[in-house]
Amino acid sequence: MTKIEAVIQPSRFESVKEALIEIGIQGMTVFEVRGHGRQKGHTETYRGREYEVDLLPKIKIEIILADKLVDLTVQTILKAAKTGKIGDGKIFLSKVDEAIRIRNEERGDQAL
């Protein structure tokens, strides 16, 4: 099993979610997060004072999948989230040793 963590632009979330549903991905956890990469934020003016906005709003999606679905899922996220501009986000993959469904104690791929 593999855990996919995708940090994307909030404006691309609905597109990514719909694309994942189309390929049969049903379970995901979504977080509203803040951060920055190379774009390092920007300067804004509020009531005549300038201030630095260095932690920008992002959406983090976490999905645990059987290994056979990982490549398709990553490609789907890439297509739906990409704008070609700085700040599009990142995708991280990690191995998951075990998953257990609490309701009936199913383990492994069956628990997903």
| Domains in the chain, number | 1
Q: Please give the Cα distance from 17 to 25 (Å, whole number).
A: 9
pLDDT digits (tens, 9 = 90+) for 62-105: 999 999 999 999 999 999 999 998 889 999 999 999 999 999 99
* CATH number for 99: 3.30.70.120
For the chain, the first-to-last Cα distance in angstroms comes to 9
108 has pLDDT over 80: yes
- The residue ranking higher by pLDDT, 23 or 51, is 23
What six digits make up the tokens of 85? 């501009």
The confidence score (pLDDT) of residue 52 equals 74
Domain of residue 92, residue span: 2-111
The confidence score (pLDDT) of residue 78 equals 98
The confidence score (pLDDT) of residue 23 equals 97
What six digits make up the tokens of 63? 């999905």
- Cα 70 → chain centroid: 13
Strand pairing report for 29-35 and 49-53: unpaired
What six digits make up the tokens of 55? 């932690």
46 has pLDDT over 90: no
